[in-house]
Protein backbone atom coordinates (compact mmCIF):
# COMPACT_ATOMS: atom_id res chain seq x y z
CA UNK A 1 0.00 0.00 0.00
CA UNK A 2 1.18 3.46 -0.83
CA UNK A 3 0.62 6.58 1.16
CA UNK A 4 1.32 7.90 4.61
CA UNK A 5 1.05 5.14 7.20
CA UNK A 6 -1.26 5.65 10.15
CA UNK A 7 -1.43 3.42 13.20
CA UNK A 8 -4.92 2.63 14.44
CA UNK A 9 -5.99 0.41 17.33
CA UNK A 10 -8.65 -2.27 16.93
CA UNK A 11 -11.07 -2.29 19.87
CA UNK A 12 -13.59 -4.97 20.80
CA UNK A 13 -16.56 -4.64 23.16
CA UNK A 14 -16.31 -6.84 26.26
CA UNK A 15 -18.80 -7.57 28.99
CA UNK A 16 -18.08 -8.43 32.59
CA UNK A 17 -20.38 -9.37 35.45
CA UNK A 18 -19.60 -8.14 38.95
CA UNK A 19 -20.39 -9.98 42.19
CA UNK A 20 -23.80 -8.27 42.35
CA UNK A 21 -24.74 -9.54 38.90
CA UNK A 22 -24.50 -6.17 37.15
CA UNK A 23 -23.18 -6.29 33.59
CA UNK A 24 -20.54 -3.75 32.61
CA UNK A 25 -19.57 -3.12 28.99
CA UNK A 26 -16.21 -1.72 27.98
CA UNK A 27 -14.05 -1.45 24.88
CA UNK A 28 -10.72 -3.28 25.05
CA UNK A 29 -7.69 -2.68 22.82
CA UNK A 30 -7.01 -5.84 20.81
CA UNK A 31 -4.23 -5.03 18.38
CA UNK A 32 -2.76 -2.10 16.47
CA UNK A 33 -2.46 -1.93 12.68
CA UNK A 34 -0.49 0.33 10.37
CA UNK A 35 -2.23 1.28 7.18
CA UNK A 36 -3.38 4.10 4.95
CA UNK A 37 -6.29 6.24 6.16
CA UNK A 38 -8.10 8.35 3.56
CA UNK A 39 -11.37 10.21 3.42
CA UNK A 40 -13.97 8.36 1.38
CA UNK A 41 -15.36 9.73 -1.90
CA UNK A 42 -18.80 10.16 -0.30
CA UNK A 43 -17.34 12.40 2.41
CA UNK A 44 -15.29 14.40 -0.10
CA UNK A 45 -18.42 15.04 -2.20
CA UNK A 46 -20.47 16.19 0.80
CA UNK A 47 -22.91 13.29 0.59
CA UNK A 48 -22.62 12.59 4.31
CA UNK A 49 -24.62 15.74 5.04
CA UNK A 50 -27.36 14.86 2.54
CA UNK A 51 -27.97 11.28 3.63
CA UNK A 52 -26.89 11.55 7.25
CA UNK A 53 -30.26 10.49 8.65
CA UNK A 54 -31.25 7.96 5.99
CA UNK A 55 -28.21 5.73 5.81
CA UNK A 56 -24.73 5.30 7.18
CA UNK A 57 -22.21 6.61 4.70
CA UNK A 58 -18.53 5.98 5.00
CA UNK A 59 -16.43 8.99 5.99
CA UNK A 60 -13.05 7.22 5.78
CA UNK A 61 -11.37 4.15 4.32
CA UNK A 62 -8.56 2.40 6.19
CA UNK A 63 -6.47 -0.06 4.16
CA UNK A 64 -4.15 -2.55 5.86
CA UNK A 65 -2.14 -5.59 4.87
CA UNK A 66 -4.16 -8.77 5.34
CA UNK A 67 -4.00 -9.63 9.07
CA UNK A 68 -3.25 -13.23 9.98
CA UNK A 69 -4.83 -14.83 13.03
CA UNK A 70 -7.58 -12.30 13.67
CA UNK A 71 -11.09 -11.70 12.37
CA UNK A 72 -12.34 -8.12 12.23
CA UNK A 73 -16.10 -7.52 12.05
CA UNK A 74 -18.59 -4.67 12.14
CA UNK A 75 -18.95 -5.31 15.89
CA UNK A 76 -15.43 -3.93 16.40
CA UNK A 77 -14.25 -0.34 16.09
CA UNK A 78 -10.99 1.47 15.38
CA UNK A 79 -9.32 4.20 17.44
CA UNK A 80 -6.88 6.84 16.28
CA UNK A 81 -5.64 8.84 19.26
CA UNK A 82 -8.90 10.24 20.69
CA UNK A 83 -11.01 9.68 17.58
CA UNK A 84 -13.19 6.58 17.19
CA UNK A 85 -14.44 4.99 13.99
CA UNK A 86 -17.33 2.58 13.52
CA UNK A 87 -16.57 -0.19 11.01
CA UNK A 88 -19.41 -0.09 8.48
CA UNK A 89 -18.03 -2.96 6.46
CA UNK A 90 -14.70 -4.69 5.89
CA UNK A 91 -13.82 -5.40 2.25
CA UNK A 92 -11.39 -7.97 0.88
CA UNK A 93 -10.82 -6.70 -2.69
CA UNK A 94 -11.16 -9.53 -5.24
CA UNK A 95 -11.00 -11.97 -2.29
CA UNK A 96 -7.25 -11.98 -2.85
CA UNK A 97 -6.36 -11.96 0.89
CA UNK A 98 -3.63 -9.43 0.22
CA UNK A 99 -5.11 -6.42 1.99
CA UNK A 100 -8.34 -5.33 3.66
CA UNK A 101 -10.22 -2.07 3.29
CA UNK A 102 -12.43 -0.92 6.14
CA UNK A 103 -15.15 1.57 5.33
CA UNK A 104 -15.48 3.67 8.46
CA UNK A 105 -17.72 6.32 9.94
CA UNK A 106 -16.45 8.78 12.53
CA UNK A 107 -18.25 8.41 15.86
CA UNK A 108 -18.97 11.99 16.95
CA UNK A 109 -19.59 13.09 20.48
CA UNK A 110 -17.93 10.04 22.03
CA UNK A 111 -16.37 10.65 25.43
CA UNK A 112 -14.45 7.94 27.24
SS3 string of the chain? CCCCEEEEEEEEEEEEECCCCCEEEEEEEEEEEEEEEEECHHHHCCHHHHHCCCCCCCCEEEEEECCCCCCCCCCCEEEECCEEEEEEEEECHHHCCCEEEEEEEECCCCCC
pLDDT tens column, 48-65: 455 555 556 788 999 999
Task: Report the CATH number at residue 64.
Answer: 2.40.10.270
In a domain, 112, yes or no: no
Residues spanned by the domain of 50: 5-106
Domain count, the chain: 1
pLDDT for the residue 44: 56
Given this model, what pLDDT does residue 109 score?
Answer: 64
The CA distance from 55 to 79, in Å, is 22
pLDDT-derived band at 94, boundaries 50, 70, 90 = confident
Q: Convert the pLDDT of each residue in 4-57 to its tens digit.
A: 899 999 999 999 898 888 998 999 999 999 999 998 876 555 554 555 555 567
Amino acid sequence: MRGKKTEMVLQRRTESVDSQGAVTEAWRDIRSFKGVLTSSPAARNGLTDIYDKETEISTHIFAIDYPLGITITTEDRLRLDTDYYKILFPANPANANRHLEFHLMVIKGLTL
